[in-house]
Structure formats: C-alpha cells, structure tokens
C-alpha cells in the first residue's frame, strides 16, 4: 500500500485522488469540530463553500448552521467553528448541521473524487488510520493548510495517522518523502501534541484570539474512535 501526503489541498489536482482513500485534515479546527460534533450526537454535517449557500441550505431545510471566517464566527450565524460549541450535541435543535469554514470544508469538497473520503485529526488519528487501512487502497493524506499555505497542525495530524499506519502495515507500507517527514514530526510531538499546535501560524493566531481551550481540545491524541466519512454531500460517522 502506498501512502502520499498533499500538503495544501487548494493546490492539489482533485483528479489525482481517483481510486484512493483520502483522509482530510484541518486540525485547527474544522475536522476536529466535525469529529466532536458527530461524537456528541449530530447525525449529518453538510460541508459548504460559501456562507450564503450555507445559510440558504440551513434556512430552507431547518438545519443547524455553523460557520467561520478568519477564525471568527460568521456574523448572523448561530454557531462558529469551535469544537467546544458542539460538545453538548444538538439538544432540541436539528441533528443535521451545515458548516462552512475558511479552508477545511473546501478541502473536504475538493477530495470528493477519492473512492472513499475520511475525516481525520489528532482527536481520532488511531481510528481513522485503522479505517483507512481496512479500505485496502492507496491512501492520500490531504492537509487543508491555511490560506493556501502549509499548516503545521495538519502535518501533525497526518503524521500521527502515518505512524499508526506503519504499525498496522508491519513493513508493507510505501510512504512518500512528505509522509515520512510528517511521521517523524509526529514522533517528535507524540508526548506533547499541544506544543505543536501552539507553534504553528494558525495556532498562534487562535491563541491571540483567546482560543487556547480550542487548541487544548484539538490536541487530545486518540480521544475519539469516531471516523467521519463524506459521501453524497454529507459527512456521517462510519459504523465501526
């Protein structure tokens, strides 16, 4: 099995994902939010590119609406993109969520040509690696990046998944250089993932916005066994 990494989803050719299992990462914070929301009881999450499109979809069908731009909740949206906002689950509201974020939701949508699209983060690294391994196809680790640039936190999430894949494969894995590099990065940060998240450019920006609890949340290695998958426009939890 081959494992490759795409460092910035926006720069990748979506057609290159055909026939593969893609694992998409936007560790700060979209994919961490998606994993947390599904674990808390949301049933389906629609990733949407535009804020207007997201608002119209949610209003038309009575779905919950969440969105972020520049790290802030979109004005007029009930929910932002902090995983902590979703911890309590849908409550009396809709268990279907429409989500639009600066980079993460776009990276998921760009991965749609893969045979299987899984959603990864530090939070579910072990579980998503096992699920990808079981698919028995070549794996592409798709990092969302931030503003078209490489993001340390996505590389770290991909690295933790690469390390799990190495353990599962016992010698039969062929990794590209990028995957090898992020695996080493993950080994370096294994005992303190938060230090890696705090160091990256987007992590530092979120810290200046008072979002340290979000970083702390997203840095929890293997907190969840939830594996979200994207199919027919909607993200749901795989039944494991």
Closer CB to ligand MLT, 36 or 101, in the complex: 101
| Binding interface with ligand MLT (CB under 6 A) | 26, 28-30, 68, 71, 81, 101-104, 146, 206
Q: Please write down the HEC assignment for all residues of the chain.
A: CEEEEECCHHHCCHHHHECCEEEEECCCCHHHHHHHHHHCCCCEEEECCCHHHHHHHHHHHCCEEEEEECCEECCCCCECCCHHHHCCCCCCCCCEEEEECCCHHHHHHHCCCECEEEEECHHHHHHHHHHHHHCCCCEEEEECCECCECCHHHHHHHHHHHHHHHHHHCCCCEECHHHHHHHHHHHHHCCCHHHHHHHCHHHHHHHHCCCHHHHHHHCCCCCCCCCEEEECCEEEECCC
Min separation Cβ 10 and ligand MLT, Å: 11
Smallest gap, in angstroms, from Cβ of residue 173 to ligand MLT? Answer: 29
Closer to ligand MLT by Cβ: residue 103 or 111: 103
Minimum CB separation of residue 116 from ligand MLT in Å reads 21
Q: Residue 26 or residue 163: which is nearer to ligand MLT going by CB?
A: 26
Nearer to ligand MLT, 32 or 130 (CB): 32
Residue 117 Cβ vs ligand MLT, minimum distance, rounded to whole Å: 16
């Amino acid at each position: 099995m081959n494992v490759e990494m795409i460092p910035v989803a926006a720069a990748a050719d979506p057609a290159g994902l055909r026939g593969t299992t893609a694992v998409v990462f936007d560790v700060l914070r979209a994919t961490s939010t998606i994993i947390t929301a599904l674990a808390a009881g949301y049933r389906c999450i629609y990733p949407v590119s535009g804020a207007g499109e997201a608002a119209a979809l949610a209003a038309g069908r009575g779905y919950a609406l969440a969105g972020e731009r520049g790290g802030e909740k979109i004005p007029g949206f009930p929910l932002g993109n902090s995983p902590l906002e979703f911890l309590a689950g849908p409550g009396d509201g809709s268990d279907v969520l429409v989500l639009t974020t600066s980079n993460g939701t776009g990276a998921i949508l760009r991965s749609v040509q893969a045979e299987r699209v899984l959603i990864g983060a530090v939070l579910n690294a072990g579980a998503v690696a096992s699920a990808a391994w079981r698919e028995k196809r070549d794996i592409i680790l798709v990092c969302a990046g931030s503003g078209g640039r490489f993001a340390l936190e996505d590389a770290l999430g991909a690295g933790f998944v690469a390390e799990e894949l190495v353990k599962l494969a016992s010698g039969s894995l062929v990794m590209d250089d990028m995957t090898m590099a992020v695996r080493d990065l993950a080994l370096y940060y294994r005992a303190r993932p938060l230090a890696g998240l705090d160091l990256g450019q987007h992590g530092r920006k979120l810290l200046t916005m008072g979002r340290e609890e979000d970083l702390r949340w997203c840095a929890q290695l293997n907190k969840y066994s939830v594996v979200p998958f994207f199919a027919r426009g909607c993200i749901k939890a795989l039944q494991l």
